[in-house]
Structure 1
């Protein structure tokens, strides 16, 4: 959420930011509601002052034996007026809150202005694209031939977009998750969190999924709980409504979770296998940092995510997202993409975002810079470190052999009991 004072003082800047992100938001209506709200607050303060003065007069009149009936009636009328204004104020504040909740975060000045993904800017590429002396199979063919993935039975159990990992496929998925968690904990000093996979409305609002994205989320209606789209939601909300000690910053959490998204799979032909799924696994990094250092930590977070791919020896590229491709809550974002040899294209594996104080305002997460200082809103950042579905595509396709096996990357072998290759296990 943006600071109302900032909107009041910079309406044209906010309008340009909304337009640059291709979002909707009625700044003029916000200013109108805000003006009437401030008028009412001033009126109520003046009326309360009059009421207090009248109360003193009534006491004085009674002390002097004078008739205070007229003043008492006037005071009663003032109280009725205040009551009506308080009701109007409550309604105005609800409307204002609703309008403010639909204003996106503004793009950081270093974010390129553009309308869609075609205007994202490549800032880095690492590794050489794999070359094969045979026609590489796609991850679905590999998974079926090795009997390690079963999308058909996943569809039978739940529906399309819900994968089943089997045998060495399940073990490889678990190896990836454990490797990434250990990597971030041991190398970068993260604290591991194992969060709930359901979140309430306050949590979804706090990180910016609500109200805009409610239709894209899975909702357990009986309990009014959402299946989380990412661990960002529960992990960020761990500190909702808290004042943190500035000496504890930065706070760096890493969490594994399953992720659930209804909108996945609605993008036409690119829905095969892991290219679009409704449920996937992800290791998420969340940082709470001092505002003065948030962009320093944004670059560091990007590096931490990239190091996973370098350890796996998978080529990748980094894109700086243009304004029109940014999420509702992000001020700046990098996407990390890995290469699919079979698809001959880059696939998004991670997003690394700086939300500045946007989420912190919605979730009321503050910190006290020093003892006795006024609390400030913290800056929040997160990054996939990494999502395993697209990563599994690149891994299986990159490490496949002409014999139909898959070489296990060296850094994962200790998590696979020393196993170095996946072969078909026939009965």
Structure 2
């Protein structure tokens, strides 16, 4: 969550961020009003408690009827203290709930909704095919690489099997991404895919995005993660970590699950929007001052992966209204999809500043004392990469050229050939 002190001292900064996100800025007033009630209740509680303590000496010095009268007052005062203490706790909970409903402060992101992004960079020329382009699923079916029909038979709509070269390609992407991350100081982690509510909530996924999350509620109160970011953020919950020597970096590999609520009719063909996929995710803890440079570094690693698969892409600065709850700023790498004549997101990297760490109580020690660290995340490879590779590297006979950067991870193979059976 955001810093309460910031909201108290600079409420207009928070209002401006909410306006940029296309949210109601009156949420700031709700927090301030709840905070005022808490302050008033706290003052009354502390005053009553001080008076209660002062009665001790009076009672000890009193005799007879005076003592009995004082004891009656002490009893009433004790009840008042308990009532005011409960009221203070109730007001604090109401204020904190209102504060948790406010997303991170958008920093530098373009104001507006999803379509109001800004393009930072465009890399590569969109290919001019001299034959009728197939979409990735049609190409994959010729290679016997993806089986959507049997995926639906086994698990329902938007599930699939990766088979043959489809499975090999995913493992090659995974290994290439892991090799890149570990060469740059990331510790490899294979993470849990089921997490506790406090972990999911701490990363900011149980607010407005709760309808995207699968929840096991039949006696297990656990959530299926949509990214290993969740588990990696919770890894150091309630800890003080040392980032004085630079960022603490992890790269997580996991299966991911998303309900894709509200996306019916949008990219539902093939493996662009599915309920289960695999992903290699970078995660970094650092000081908030370092986080801005670290954000650019994570984007740089993503650009290297995009170069490795050799597809045209653009980098967008995501509009504030399209940011997730925790992100202060987010950059996406969007690959060109020839069959759709448009770009589609392959990777994203977000600087969450101190938002997640404040909720998860992850701190660093500084000369001024303890304070929340910053957290950042970024995708290095995911199942969706396969779609971009198949579409951009297809040949007229249905075969697919293997991107040169992936060949070392595929035994040197240069072409995927169509399969007759």
Partner of 1:401: 395
2-structure distance, mates of 1:348, 1:306: 13
Q: Give 1:52 deviation, angstroms.
A: 1.2
Partner of 1:386: 381
Map residues 353-368 of structure 1 onto 2, 5 A cutoff.
353-368=350-365
Partner of 1:289: 286
1-structure distance, mates of 2:243, 2:389: 41
- Match for residue 372 of structure 2 among 362, 377, 391: 377
- Match for residue 192 of structure 2 among 196, 219, 224: 196
1-structure distance, mates of 2:19, 2:264: 24
Q: Is the 8 A contact 2:393 2:400 kept in 1?
A: yes
Partner of 1:16: 16
Partner of 2:160: 163
Q: For residues 129-179 of structure 1, give each alpha carbon's deviation from its aligned partner in whole angstroms, at most 9, with x where no partner exists.
A: 223222221111111111110011111111111121011111111111111
- Match for residue 216 of structure 1 among 212, 218, 225: 212
1-structure distance, mates of 2:13, 2:419: 61
Q: Is the 8 A contact 1:285 1:385 kept in 2?
A: yes
Map residues 272-421 of structure 1 onto 2, 5 A cutoff.
272-369=269-366, 373-389=368-384, 391-421=385-415
Partner of 2:253: 256
For normalisation by structure 1, the TM-score amounts to 0.93
**Is residue 102 from structure 1 mapped to residue 101 from structure 2 by the alignment?**
yes
Q: Is the 8 A contact 1:349 1:388 kept in 2?
A: no
Partner of 1:205: 201
Partner of 1:112: 110
SS in 1 for 2:369: coil
Inter-CA distance 402–264: structure 2 relative to 1 (3 Å threshold): farther
Larger CA deviation: 223-232 vs 3-12: 3-12
Partner of 1:123: 120
Q: Give 1:66 deviation, angstroms.
A: 8.7
Q: Is the 8 A contact 1:54 1:75 kept in 2?
A: yes
SS in 2 for 1:189: coil
Map residues 77-96 of structure 1 onto 2, 5 A cutoff.
77-96=76-95
- Match for residue 416 of structure 2 among 414, 422, 427: 422
Q: Give 1:337 deviation, angstroms.
A: 0.4
When the two structures are aligned, how many residues end up with a matched partner? 419
**Is residue 174 from structure 1 mapped to residue 171 from structure 2 by the alignment?**
yes
**Is residue 225 from structure 1 mapped to residue 186 from structure 2 by the alignment?**
no
Q: Is the 8 A contact 2:211 2:261 kept in 1?
A: no
Q: Give 1:267 deviation, angstroms.
A: 4.2
Q: Give 1:307 deviation, angstroms.
A: 0.7
Structure 2: gaps (5+ residues): none
SS in 1 for 2:35: helix
Aligned Cα root-mean-square deviation (Å): 1.8
Q: Is the 8 A contact 1:335 1:351 kept in 2?
A: yes
2-structure distance, mates of 1:244, 1:269: 42
Structure 1: gaps (5+ residues): none
SS in 1 for 2:314: strand
Inter-CA distance 31–265: structure 2 relative to 1 (3 Å threshold): closer
Q: Give 1:418 deviation, angstroms.
A: 3.0
2-structure distance, mates of 1:208, 1:283: 20
1-structure distance, mates of 2:215, 2:350: 25
Q: Give 1:425 deviation, angstroms.
A: 3.8
Q: Give 1:322 deviation, angstroms.
A: 1.8
**Is residue 246 from structure 1 mapped to residue 243 from structure 2 by the alignment?**
yes
2-structure distance, mates of 1:328, 1:295: 18
2-structure distance, mates of 1:265, 1:69: 68
Q: Is the 8 A contact 1:245 1:369 kept in 2?
A: no
SS in 2 for 1:343: coil
Inter-CA distance 44–264: structure 2 relative to 1 (3 Å threshold): closer
Q: Give 1:269 deviation, angstroms.
A: 4.3
SS in 2 for 1:219: strand
